[in-house]
Amino acid sequence: MTVALSVAILALFFLVIFQIAKASEYVAILKGEEVSRKQSNKINGFLMIAFLVLGLVGVWYCNELLYDKTLLVQPSASVEGERVDEMLWITLAVTGVVFILTQILLFWFAYKYQESENRKPYFFAHSTKLEAIWTAIPAVALTVLVVMGLRSWFLFTGDAPKGAMEVEVVGKQFGWIFRYAGEDGIMGKKYFKNIDEAKSNPLGQIWEDEANYDDVVTTQTMYVVKGKPVKMIIGSRDVIHDVGLSHFRLKMDAVPGTPTTLWFTPKYTTAEMKEITKNPNFQYEISCDQMCGNGHYSMKGVIEVVSQAEYDAWMAKQTPNYLLAFPEKAAQPVADKEAEKGTTAQATSTKNSSKM
Amino acid sequence: MANEAVLHAHSGVETHHDHDHGHEHHHHETFITKYIFSQDHKMIAKQFLITGMVWAVIGGLMSVLFRFQLGYPDATYPWLEDILGKWAKGGRISAEAYYALVTTHGTVLVFFVLTAGLSGTFANFLIPLQVGARDMASPFMNMLSYWFFFTASIVMLSSIFVETGPFSGGWTAYPPLSALGDASPGSKIGMDLWLVSMALFVVSSLLGGLNYIATILNMRTKGMSMTRMPLTIWALFFTAVLGVLSFPVLFSGFILLIFDRHFGTSFYLSDIFLASTNTALPNEGGSAILYQHLFWFLGHPEVYIILLPAMGMVSEILSVNSRKPIFGYIAMVGSLFAIAILAFLVWAHHMFVTGLNPFLGSIFVLLTLLIAVPSAIKVFNWLTTIWRGNIRFTPGMLFAIGFVSLFISGGLTGIWLGNSALDIHLHDTYFVIAHFHIVMGVASMFGMFAGVYHWYPKMYGRYLNNTLGYIHFWVTLAGAYLIFWPMHYEGLAGMPRRYYDYSIWESFKQFGELNKFISTVAMIVFAAQILFLINFFYSIWKGRKVKEQNPYNASTLEWTTPINPGHGNWPGEIPEVHRWAYDYGKDGREFISQTEPVGADESKH
């Protein structure tokens, strides 16, 4: 009913506009087409300058409304991300100036040089000097931007600093799996055909490889240490995903069959960031930034940035995935509760951990 | 040599024409040969235009539907269930339907509307008329080009109605998502239809493109040297070259994808375990990134396939309505050429975060930002063209000015995204949506509207209603900025694109009010387009009749044809050309037609 009504109203609205437009055409013929053409030329000329003024005010007003909701008001949560922010501000300054200048010229010219009987258009076909100027200036400005950008780019994509902690990040429809190398510092080999969720092997770890024995596998939440570079070794189990780290100003695709890497140095713990943003619910969210299926929008992970001590305490509570897959291998009996859990490597309530 | 060939070709055509002319009044043209299987380039242009408009309405309506979801994620609308059935159970669009809408919207707008609808229409319409030819090099191939496009349309349309839904993995169709039906229902039969449709579309583009190139190179009238061609023709020429060289690469990418989907190959697939079936696939050794290279090798030139015709028409329309020559003709051609070359060398800037070799990435940064130089030349030349002109604000002119404004706004954000050190933060956020919708989507749409308003009198011998044109322009320009400008801010908050619902995200849920606003404006802008459609179809039959042969006092050849040109365009001989297309305001004269010989005391420029 309401639909039919709104369609009817809309149709009526169109009809009215249409009739007005038709009428204006008849009026134009009565008044003389040339007269009414000049009239509408004036109106459109005025609208040009009005649009310019309103548009620039709108740009300012939009900024007033939305600026606080962006990341521009938050410091970058990673040391490397500061360079992204720096690049962003410089690019904004350069493009902002060009934007304002050219838009003003465009609409002001349109207004100023609207048709008038007294004006003879100026026959001006080319000027090598002018064209050389506006080829050279953008070329120089862009060279500066390219050089600055590439210096950061090579830092982002270069080797992680020595002593960086490594975490494997694996995307799947629709969630994240993380793996830590354990005490030996080596992640064991894996093969995708070994993947078996029911047998607590979401990554396909090869159990013959002893390096796998102490690897800790978790889902959903990843723990990293403030001030300590972390290198992500990123992969995917099914389709392409993307590890989107907006607070750290970085992202990298997760591609099945082709591992990628991304490293950064967290600057603030989650708790500190809650204070900086004045948002008690603040989380470092990992958003999937590559279309990965119908659950794409819900593919959320969380990064907890903590102090080294907190990290050590957390890690001490984790059970290596090997023991979750083979509870009988545990040196000491594992609490029943944990053995039951088996299917996932979620390490939330492992109180009396039984590390080997 | 070329000239001789032209002369030669013409004498042949002219004899044929004279024969035609003799029978003009009792020439047998049935409804079918005139309106359906027409070989007249002007009719084929209209077929492309109207089919493109149908798709624009469908694609636009889809965006309105998914904007409902984005603007009002909690609301339910029973009427949605009435029209969409199981895709909107309970009156709320499902995630599946949302992604299908987004994907189809992207595909049809990019390919069917802004490629076929734009360059298909204006290349067909303007090339013979502006270079002085009776028709395309091969009218029959030209007809096939349209009918392949039409068939592609039908196949795409049919994919909307299959049980598992149309393809829903984004218009870029990245595998493995697009290769595996078990990864997403849209990747089942819907994806096969998508691929078949796109393959047919590639055939259509190639048939059209080869024809455009052949016509421009070989069928220019006497005196129409390459450097006397209007900029529209140069732009359409480079567009056709881009299409002919890059569409086959896309096609090869699709073929490999079809093999991976159905014949057990592993071009793109490796190391895949699907949770939905709980099985590991046998495929090993493929590279999912290979597809992205093949796709973007077309995908990026495609952006310019869309943009260049708009640039060409805008150059022409700005000059005609400023009553001034286009500023820096040679620089305009040179920058078109530079853009066309660079278009082939920047594709991997869409892939900075795929794990691309960083050194390779840096080369692509350099080449990408280089495009800003010819783009800047074009903008400054347009500005200088209207400077000290005597501007007539026809609706076509308004849209041309709007195009320049949007091209500046959207082009500048390209400098952000082309820089990998920023892209690593902004990639696949709303910043990207804002960027490409403004610079490629809306700007090219404006170029298309400018072309339709400007050449409508030539197409139908009638005028569009100007008042409706003005309303259409101002609502669309203001609306386009209101929709896409704020999206930059969403992008600067890191808000990812292609999300069905943001409510679970602490980082992105603060834009609820804004999304509502954007959705509302989107609906208003869509309504304004309906106004245009009414104007368009009403005026075909009832518009004010064109009474002068050359209503704009323009110097190009299409205005030397009769008001309603028949098949063959000029009743007598094809006029000879003596000068470039932009002698406006020269030596105190309003304009000098291209057909007028250069006078003895005429000043040089």
pLDDT tens, residue by residue, B553-584 = 999 999 999 999 998 999 989 999 999 999 99
Domain membership of residue A248 (yes or no) is yes
Q: What is the CATH number of the domain that holds A312?
A: 2.60.40.420
Domain membership of residue B22 (yes or no) is no
Mutation target to probe the A interface, by most A beta carbons within 10 A, among B425, B463, B473, B506 is: B425
Residues of A in contact with B272 (CB under 8 A): 192, 237-239, 256-257
Q: Return the amino acid letter for B283.
A: N
Mean pLDDT, range A285-295, rounded to an integer? 95
Decide if B428 and A242 are in contact by the 8 Å CB cutoff. Answer: yes
Sort B4 into a burial class: Cβ within 10 Å, 0-12 / 13-18 / 19+.
exposed
Residues of B in contact with A294 (CB under 8 A): 95-96, 99, 168, 184-186, 500
Decide if B412 and A300 are in contact by the 8 Å CB cutoff. Answer: no
Decide if A244 and B409 are in contact by the 8 Å CB cutoff. Answer: no
Spatial distance between the Cα atoms of B438 and B440, rounded to a whole number of angstroms: 6
Domain membership of residue A337 (yes or no) is no
Residues of B in contact with A106 (CB under 8 A): 383, 386, 401, 404-405, 408
Measured in angstroms, the CA of B14 and the nearest CA of chain A are apart by 35
CA atoms within 13 A on the CB side of A57: 6
Q: What is the CA radius of gyration of chain B?
A: 25
Mean pLDDT, range B174-202, rounded to an integer? 95
* Residue B15 burial (CB count, 10 A): 10
Domain membership of residue B599 (yes or no) is no
Cβ neighbors of A37 (< 8 A, separation 6 or more) are: A28, B392
Which pair of structure tokens corresponds to residue B400? 């041309």
Q: Which of A131, A153, A193 sits opposite B358 (nearest CB)?
A: A153
Q: Length of chain A, please?
A: 356
Helix, strand, coil shares of chain B, percent, nearest 5, are 70, 0, 30
Residue of chain A with shortest Cα separation from B418: A146
Q: Return the amino acid letter for B289.
A: I
Question: Which of A245, A196, A254, A198 shows the shortest CA–CA distance to A224?
Answer: A245
Q: Are the CB atoms for A254 and A242 separated by under 8 Å?
A: yes
Domain membership of residue A333 (yes or no) is no
Residues of A in contact with B471 (CB under 8 A): 17, 21
pLDDT (0 to 100) of residue B27: 59
Spatial distance between the Cα atoms of B108 and B52, rounded to a whole number of angstroms: 9
Q: Which of B180, B270, B427 sits opposite A251 (nearest CB)?
A: B427
Domain membership of residue A106 (yes or no) is yes
The yes-or-no verdict on residue A7 having pLDDT over 90 is no
Residue A177 and residue A261 in one domain = yes
Residue A60 and residue A188 in one domain = no
Sort A86 into a burial class: Cβ within 10 Å, 0-12 / 13-18 / 19+.
middle
Decide if A123 and B325 are in contact by the 8 Å CB cutoff. Answer: yes
Residue A11 and residue A44 in one domain = no
Residue A208 and residue A307 in one domain = yes
Spatial distance between the Cα atoms of B147 and B116, rounded to a whole number of angstroms: 12
According to DSSP, the β-strands at A221-225 and A300-306 are: parallel
B356-360: long-range contacts, CB 8 A cutoff, minimum separation 24: B356/B289, B358/A153, B358/A154, B358/A157, B358/A158
The yes-or-no verdict on residue B13 having pLDDT over 50 is no
Domain membership of residue B25 (yes or no) is no
- Tens of pLDDT, residue by residue over A108-144, are 999 999 998 888 888 888 899 999 999 999 999 999 9
Domain membership of residue B355 (yes or no) is yes
Residue of chain B with shortest Cα separation from A142: B369
Whether residue B605 lies within 8 A of chain A, CB to CB, comes out as yes
Q: Return the amino acid letter for B98.
A: Y
Domain membership of residue A344 (yes or no) is no
The C-alpha torsion from B414 through B418 and B420 to B423, rounded to 10°, is: 30
The yes-or-no verdict on residue B25 having pLDDT over 80 is no
Q: Are the CB atoms for B594 and B228 separated by under 8 Å?
A: yes
B360: left (phi over 0), alpha (psi -120 to 50) or beta: alpha
| Domain final position from A138, A157, A176 | A157
Measured in angstroms, the CA of A155 and the nearest CA of chain B are apart by 10
Residue A175 and residue A79 in one domain = no
Tell me the DSSP string of B80-133.
HHHHHGGGGGGGS--HHHHHHHHHHHHHIIIIIIIIIIIIIHHHHHHHHHHHT-
Mutual angle of helices B288-322 and B443-460, in 10-degree steps: 50
Cα-based distances in Å from B261 to A16, A220, B182, B266 = 53, 31, 11, 9
pLDDT (0 to 100) of residue A356: 37
Q: Which of B354, B391, B493 sits opposite A114 (nearest CB)?
A: B391
Residues of A in contact with B586 (CB under 8 A): 123
pLDDT (0 to 100) of residue B16: 44
Q: Which of A83, A121, A246 sits opposite B323 (nearest CB)?
A: A121
Spatial distance between the Cα atoms of B540 and B543, rounded to a whole number of angstroms: 6
pLDDT (0 to 100) of residue A35: 87
Mean pLDDT, range B218-242, rounded to an integer? 96
Compute the mean pLDDT over every residue in chain A, rounded to the nearest whole number: 89
Spatial distance between the Cα atoms of B374 and B368, rounded to a whole number of angstroms: 11
* Residue B44 burial (CB count, 10 A): 25
Residue A40 and residue A26 in one domain = no
Q: Report the domain count for chain B.
A: 1
Q: Are the CB atoms for B240 and B213 separated by under 8 Å?
A: yes
Decide if B384 and A152 are in contact by the 8 Å CB cutoff. Answer: no
Residue A178 and residue A239 in one domain = yes
Spatial distance between the Cα atoms of B284 and B270, rounded to a whole number of angstroms: 4
The yes-or-no verdict on residue B2 having pLDDT over 50 is no
Decide if B324 and A152 are in contact by the 8 Å CB cutoff. Answer: no
pLDDT (0 to 100) of residue A331: 61
* Residue B13 burial (CB count, 10 A): 16
- Helix (H), strand (E) at residue B274: strand B273-274
Domain membership of residue B32 (yes or no) is no
Whether residue B474 lies within 8 A of chain A, CB to CB, comes out as yes
The yes-or-no verdict on residue A2 having pLDDT over 90 is no
DSSP letter at B567? T
Residue where the block lists tokens 């809306």: B442
- Tens of pLDDT, residue by residue over B322-349, are 999 999 999 999 999 999 999 999 999 9
Mean pLDDT, range B99-109, rounded to an integer? 96
Q: Are the CB atoms for A249 and A79 separated by under 8 Å?
A: no
- Helix (H), strand (E) at residue A180: strand A175-180
pLDDT (0 to 100) of residue A3: 75
Domain membership of residue B604 (yes or no) is no
Mutual angle of helices B288-322 and B231-262, in 10-degree steps: 160
Decide if B425 and A258 are in contact by the 8 Å CB cutoff. Answer: no
Residue A195 and residue A287 in one domain = yes
Whether residue B379 lies within 8 A of chain A, CB to CB, comes out as yes
Spatial distance between the Cα atoms of B375 and A95, rounded to a whole number of angstroms: 13
pLDDT (0 to 100) of residue B386: 95
Which pair of structure tokens corresponds to residue A114? 């609207």
Whether the bond into B337 is cis, omega within 30 of 0 = no
Whether residue B27 lies within 8 A of chain A, CB to CB, comes out as no
Whether the bond into B78 is cis, omega within 30 of 0 = no
A1 confidence band (pLDDT: 50, 70, 90): low
Whether residue B347 lies within 8 A of chain A, CB to CB, comes out as no
* Residue A270 burial (CB count, 10 A): 19
B457: domain range? Answer: 2-17+41-588
Residue A143 and residue A17 in one domain = no
Compute the mean pLDDT over every residue in chain B, rounded to the nearest whole number: 92
Q: Which of A69, A135, A137 sits opposite B511 (nearest CB)?
A: A69
Domain membership of residue A172 (yes or no) is yes
- Write down the H helix ranges in B418-465: 420-426, 430-436, 443-460
Decide if B169 and A293 are in contact by the 8 Å CB cutoff. Answer: yes
Spatial distance between the Cα atoms of A46 and B470, rounded to a whole number of angstroms: 13
Tell me the DSSP string of A111-172.
HHTB--TTPPP------HHHHHHHHHHHHHHHHHHHHHHHHHHHHHHSPPPTT-EEEEEEEE
The yes-or-no verdict on residue B368 having pLDDT over 60 is yes
Q: What is the CA radius of gyration of chain A?
A: 31
Whether residue B7 lies within 8 A of chain A, CB to CB, comes out as no
Residue where the block lists tokens 């080869």: B210
Residue A141 and residue A181 in one domain = no
Domain membership of residue A354 (yes or no) is no
B351 confidence band (pLDDT: 50, 70, 90): very high
A225: domain range? Answer: 165-327
Bigger pLDDT: A119 vs B478: B478
For chain B positions 428-467, those within 8 Å of chain A (CB to CB) are: 428-429, 465-467
The yes-or-no verdict on residue A240 having pLDDT over 70 is yes
The yes-or-no verdict on residue A341 having pLDDT over 60 is no
Q: Report the domain count for chain A.
A: 3
Question: Which of B377, B154, B136 shows the shortest CA–CA distance to B240?
Answer: B136
Residue where the block lists tokens 């909107």: B88
Span of A329-343, B228-242, B288-302, B398-412 with lowest mean pLDDT: A329-343
Residue of chain A with shortest Cα separation from B70: A297
Q: Are the CB atoms for A293 and B184 separated by under 8 Å?
A: yes
Whether residue B524 lies within 8 A of chain A, CB to CB, comes out as no
Decide if B355 and A258 are in contact by the 8 Å CB cutoff. Answer: yes
> What is the predicted ipTM?
0.91
Mean pLDDT, range A217-238, rounded to an integer? 95
Angle at A185 between CA A184 and CA A190, to 5 degrees: 95
The yes-or-no verdict on residue B14 having pLDDT over 50 is no
Whether residue B489 lies within 8 A of chain A, CB to CB, comes out as yes
Q: How many angstroms separate the first and last alpha carbons of chain B? A: 27
Which pair of structure tokens corresponds to residue B64? 């309105």
The yes-or-no verdict on residue B26 having pLDDT over 90 is no
Q: Would you call A12 helix, strand, or coil by DSSP?
A: helix
Residue A82 and residue A102 in one domain = yes
* Residue A108 burial (CB count, 10 A): 14
List, in sequence order, every beta strand (DSSP E) within B322-443: none
Across the strands, what pairs with A221?
A302
Domain membership of residue A334 (yes or no) is no
Residue A147 and residue A259 in one domain = no
Q: What is the CATH number of the domain that holds B418?
A: 1.20.210.10
